[in-house]
Amino acid sequence: MELTDAAPFLRGLALRNADDTGARAYVCAAATTAAPPAGAITLTLGAEDDETALQTLLRAAYEKSGPGSARLFALQAPGQTLLLATGSSLDEAWSLLPGSDAHASAAMRSGTSGAPAGNGAHTPEAAQAGSARAQALSAAGRERVVEGKIALVTGGAQGFGEEIVRGLYASGAVVFIADLNLAGAERLAAELNAAAGRGCAIALAMDVGNEQSVAAAFNQIARRAGGLDLVVSNAGVLKAGAVLEQSLADFEFVTKVNYTAFFLIGKYAGLMMKRQHQGAPGYATDLIQINSKSGLTGSNKNGAYAGSKFGGIGLVQSFALELVEHGVKVNAICPGNFFDGPLWSDPDRGLFVQYLRTGKVPGAKTLADVKAFYEAKVPMGRGCEGPDVMRAIYYLVEQRYETGQALPVTGGQVMLN
């Protein structure tokens, strides 16, 4: 039994009487070798105690602890002690952990994993431009849907993921930015925190296709905030290729990141949200997969990608049926083409380059020809943009009677029937 598994359950206890849209409850955890501090509510576990016994002890202690959001618990098990602090803000919860180390505290407040947050990128001009962009991405008027909630975005350092991170942060959420590109996630977190004057963007290293990496990242989330209200599984890759030519290695790579990784995210997010729901049975949470219009219709010379996305919708529907008893809604968003993001526009590996090289667009001689070909396919005449996806996310979070759905955001290019 991992003592850290108590953090989501404790956050659930703190949330149980709160209204969904106004909830403020955070839990921070730190291991200690010192004696529990004065005032801590100490719970002692035996070697044979399991998670159910831990939850029973914690529930009884929480109910006896009196009013107020700030509480400090010390969980003692053979060979280990974990401090758990609750608060109505991250700062309040963190301030109750006298055994936590100063470096970790500084990293927690800055939103990084401990690396310097500078790099000289935060000029006044950049901050002003970022503020305007954030306002657009917040889908003004809908921001209260996620205000104060704790969110995780995988693949959040660039592309659609970055747009989603910026939108959620601008709307008042605490956002974990998980990415294989940790340096990029840390730069984004530092930029957002510096511009907003609050430390609610937190970078995490995560390889979504590696179970050990995913498990470690969710453990960090439990220690840093206690749980999650929204998980946006966005990380994805694409390698175009005809079935007669594509290598098995490329096919398996796309499948691992787009399909298998969503299983891992669903597994560990589901476990965390289940524990949180055990503490707050009436509280709803969301798991959203950023899928693709290629998950709704086949894609010529792009079978690995389309197949992984079709499979993703199968997982969404199956997870929705399984996790509904734990208060988790599971849905997919199927965006159209994000032409301005690196997936399409990267000069070396972007889809425009790949499609030109593979001859997917008949007669195309230049990248501009490829882009014009795909823009002409959209009835609304443009590619999908960040605010389009943000509005879909807010809809799914706000909609209490929707699970197992695949929501197209394609400008009319793909329609449900």
Residues with active-site annotation: 305
**What is the strand order of the sheet 174-179 is part of?**
201-205, 174-179, 150-154, 230-233, 285-290, 328-335, 406-409
Cα 31 from chain centroid (whole Å)? 25
Long-range contacts formed by 253-260: CB under 8 A, 24+ apart: 254/304, 254/305, 254/308, 255/304, 255/307, 255/308, 255/311, 256/209, 257/208, 257/209, 257/308, 258/305, 258/308, 258/309, 258/311, 258/312, 259/308, 259/311, 259/312, 259/315, 260/209
Determine the Cα–Cα distance for residues 250 and 233; give it in Å rounded to an integer: 21
Answer whether 139's CB lies under 8 Å from 216's CB: no
Distance CA 251, CA 240 (A): 9
Closest residue by Cα to residue 105 from 199, 41, 26, 180: 199
